[in-house]
Amino acid sequence: MGSASTLDRCTCFSDASWLGSGPNSLLELLSRTSSELSERHSKAEEHGLEQMALFLVDGRNDLMSIGEEGGRAHSELRDLFRAIVQNRLLSKAYRLLPTDSDCAPPSCILRVLQCTRLFLRDQRFVKELVTIDGSVSALGKKYEDYASLLFAESNGEPSTGGREKLCFEILSEIASIFKKLASDRTACPWHLLVDCDAHRTSIALISVQEPSLLASALMTLSSISSRSEESAAIIGQLGCVDRLLIILREYDSAFQHLASALLQSICKVKEIRRKTQNTGGVYITLGLLSRKTPAAALESFLCLFRCLLSERSAVAEALSNGAVPILLAMLMPISTSCMNATDPRICDPAVTCLICSVLSKLAAEDEGALQIRRCGGVYLLGRLLTDTHALRVRKRWENIFQSMFEIQTHAFRALRFVFSAECNRKMFKCIFPADLYESFIDVGNYQHDVEKYRHLAHDWCEMTSELVHNSLSALEDTNLNHGNHHSGSQRIINGYIVTEIIGAGAFGCVHRVFKTRSITSQYAMKELDPGVEKLIFGESPDEITASVGRVAMEVQIFSQLDHPNIVKYYESFKEGGRLYIIMELVEGVTLLDFIKSTSEKNERISEESIWDIFIQIVLALHYIHIVKGVVHRDLSPNNILIEHGTQRIKLADFGLAKAHDGDWSKRRRDEQVMRSAVGTIAYSSPEMIKHEPYGDKVDVWSLGCILYFMLALQPPFEGPNALVIASAVVEGRYASLEPLIRRRSRQMAPRIQSKGDVDCHRGDKIYSTTSAVAVCSKVGYYSAALVGLVGRLLIVEPCKRPSIVEVAAACAPCLMRSVENLQSLNDGLQIKLRCLQESGQLEGMVEHRKREAIRQLRGLTRGSSIYPTRPASPYIEQRVGPNNTGSSLRHIVADDSSKDPPNLVSELGSSRHHRCNFKIASDRVRPIADPFLQVITVLHKLVYIDQLPPDLKKDPRQAVLQQYKRFLFGAGQPAATIKAEAVKLLVGSHEAVLGQDASILHEVVGPQVDRSHELTYEELRSMLEEVSLSRDFYLGMK
């Protein structure tokens, strides 16, 4: 008989009267063992099972409606079910493989499994199956055996033969049974399915091409992994992430939906989430979101994307790949009028809420909040609030009310996260009414709990239509002001178009500008008003003129600074009574905002990040102190910029606010110090506050204050007024950082010894040592070396304070690690450059050889011997070199093509009498290995291993090779790179292999090897040979 689909087509033959006499006769047959049945009885049993299956599949015969628990009808069906399981599924004949002569006929096994599957549609029979000892494990063993039969086929697909087709249908029935068992959370515990290895077999089946098997396997795994984090970890550790990402990338939407649901479940585990990100999960999911997708699949994709964004590195990757514009495009209203029932934002409220949730995840990073504002996200989220309010006023349906309320709650959370970024707060002041704005602020920054925003949605619903309309008008005005930077209403100053204000401080504001002749080049323009900033420029016209000239001269000096960690100054000019300074535009946030944001998220800056920031500042200060002889004098977190994407540090505002003449009166100096209390007096050195002579060590003191701020997330010197702060600075009083010290650390870190250590402090020199302790403790956050560095920088007496050179010497171990990382990055870039150069050289050599061949052929036709009569031109020999590409060669060959004979074949045919015949003894011929053939063989092995059917026993070596094969033949990979990689693999280079996931590699090398171990081509070649031998690669070649 056919499969379940065949039974479904035969429902017309079912008869409800079967329940009267059919169960008793069938139960009598099932009570005997299969070996006791005669051929006639076996056929009768098979016919009875068929009739029962037709009865069960009939939609009119719902098992739940056939008698109550304990009734006669249910009792008969229960007895039949137990007989099928105990006397057939658990019998020896039914457990054997079809290849065994004592195995039951496949048609009987199929019929038994079909009836079992149909019974399990009722939860009562699922509970019954679980209570039968050994039933689930027997099904699991049969699941594995028939999957192995499927994989044993050479092409991994079932053949068209009758017996093989039945075996495939049996496997499909077992897969459907486990799909049902996994979906029943209450009746079937997930550990029963794991104990019988059903999850391993299902993972192997996600590599098959048959739709029903693939769907059943995906749903089974998704149901098991969604039970708990432990079950998700068990499935995720079996290496299914790569295959699931292939399904997401290449299959249709139905299977993409199932694969994303499974990925979402296993990505609850941090290690699996990172592995998914490292293998391209963020990029692939973004690609799915950018397509037109059914609502159900879109909801699944958004859930997966939201889960992946739990990692900060995933957020950075998503932002760099355009996640914000893709998501905001889904929130675009279909018209400028009010929302209606056909609007996609209301048709799928769950999708709309998920989009807002994902935007909240992205806005948790300052760069994401900035991108949302610049892409009009504040306006679109605000439109969600105004449009849903209007729809609720017009339609008072309960379901609409609840959906709109949820959308508003999630929109308020997304807006609050955008507001948390310091640079976005100004635009919110006019959007909401005063009372709502106050409640909006009181929620607090970066609060993920959606319940904290429900009162905002409730207050919004109670607002009058007039107030909502005012908010809409404010949103439109805000969107107009921040949206189009190229409108005609923008100011133009000295050839620069002024757009938005990107910063403001005590000494002027900074605008984003671009040149009228080159709108792609953006700059930062600082605007100073000499008539207002009297402390900088003075009060009298003469003082103002002299100060403006002095500032212009300083800008000219600072424009000569050329360092990757220093903002570039271009020019300054005066127009309309104001002074303007043009500088490099740094897209990012200040270090002050970064620290505040970290503190508001209740997080800590990692030690690695602190070292990275600190070392970059040290490099910049070393450059200006030692190379240029410049003192910054205003070093503070507000003057240090962190560039988005690269995380590069940039120092800004070089002395523009502190470059005063020496003839200033004491009163004006005191006024300057008191005014600095609002901004940077907490970072000023004691000698500056006491008006004593100072040098470049004032920047070292400021550097110590900044380091303290990054560690403690609060400045070292705080107080209610400037006098208290100044007193603490002069005395060097600040709270101890001792509680932050991590007493024991696994990592090597530079350590500056304390006063009690021997020979650590001699004069003004600092000597650093390194230490490593094997045991890691959870006490504290940072190493003693990093915390101890603060005390060595914040020394009140300048003569005892280290210079920037000595500070750099103390950071030598970390500097060396940074250099090593940069060297590794440079090596990778050099490899790519060499591959590109080799590609050009190869093209040039091919063209050169073509031309030489033409010359030789022409020489042969002219009656020469073996070599051409005319040697190659020295001009050509000069043009073909290691640093030349094929472009010049193509030009030469094209120029010389007119000299070639029009028909070389005919000329060769007319000159056959010139050929020279000779013989070589066979024992004198040495076989030569074809290197090109060897490279092809290596690539053949990689393709062969990648196309192998899945193995129930997961081999991590095969996973590494498959991952490398996908990297090697990925989209956009140039042919020269494939050739260079294949040659390295062929010779077994000692270089590190690119494109490998460390977690898979750790499974291969074992836990005894450090996770930082990098796979080499030599190790990869060894894996390739081992797997090729074990999977019969050479046997197939024979």
3-state secondary structure 66-125: CCCCCCHHHHHHHHHHHHHHHHHHCCHHHHCCCCCCCCCCHHHHHHHHHHHHHHCCCHHH
Distance of CA 769 to the CA centre of its chain: 37
* 515 dihedral zone (left: phi>0; alpha: psi -120 to 50; beta): beta
Q: Which of 634, 696, 699, 955 is catalytic?
A: 634
Contact 684, 570 (CB under 8 A): no
**Phi, psi dihedral angles at 762 (to 5 degrees):** -125, 110
* 601 dihedral zone (left: phi>0; alpha: psi -120 to 50; beta): alpha
Q: Angle 104-108-112 (CA atoms, 0-180°, nearest 5)?
A: 115
Active-site annotation holds for 562: no
Q: How far apart are CA 442 and CA 674, in angstroms?
A: 32
Q: Is the dihedral of CA 122, 128, 131, 137 positive or negative?
A: negative
Q: How far apart are CA 620 and CA 504, in angstroms?
A: 24
The residue type found at 51 is Q
Q: How far apart are CA 736 and CA 794, in angstroms?
A: 12
899 marked ligand binding residue? no
Q: How far apart are CA 30 and CA 125, in angstroms?
A: 18
Q: Single out the residue of 417, 414, 419, 394 nearest to residue 404, CA to CA.
A: 394
Alpha helices (H) in 633-694, listed in sequence order: 666-676, 686-689
Q: Single out the residue of 217, 271, 224, 281 nearest to residue 249, CA to CA.
A: 281
Element housing 940 (H / E) = helix 931-946
Structure-derived torsion over alpha carbons of residues 768, 769, 773, 778, reported in degrees to the nearest 10: 0
Element housing 527 (H / E) = strand 518-528
Distances in Å between the Cα of 555 and the Cα atoms of 526, 560, 583 are: 12, 9, 10
Q: How far apart are CA 769 and CA 775, in angstroms?
A: 19
Contact 333, 391 (CB under 8 A): no
Exposure b/e, 129-165, CB count within 10 A at least 16 = b:
bbeeeebbebbbbbbbbbbebbbeeeebebeeeeebe
Q: How far apart are CA 238 and CA 100, in angstroms?
A: 31
Q: How far apart are CA 303 and CA 357, in angstroms?
A: 9
Q: How far apart are CA 493 and CA 513, in angstroms?
A: 9
Q: Is the dihedral of CA 965, 968, 969, 972 positive or negative?
A: positive
Structure-derived torsion over alpha carbons of residues 238, 241, 247, 250, reported in degrees to the nearest 10: -140
Q: Single out the residue of 258, 143, 113 nearest to residue 204, CA to CA.
A: 143
**Phi, psi dihedral angles at 140 (to 5 degrees):** -65, -40
The residue type found at 595 is I
Contact 986, 934 (CB under 8 A): yes
Residues 6+ apart with CB under 8 A from 497: 485, 486, 490, 491, 513, 514, 515, 516, 519
The residue type found at 731 is E
Largest CA distance in the chain: 121
Q: Summarize the annotated binding site for ATP as residue ranges.
A: 526
Supply the residues annotated as catalytic: 634
Q: Summarize the annotated binding site as residue ranges.
A: 526
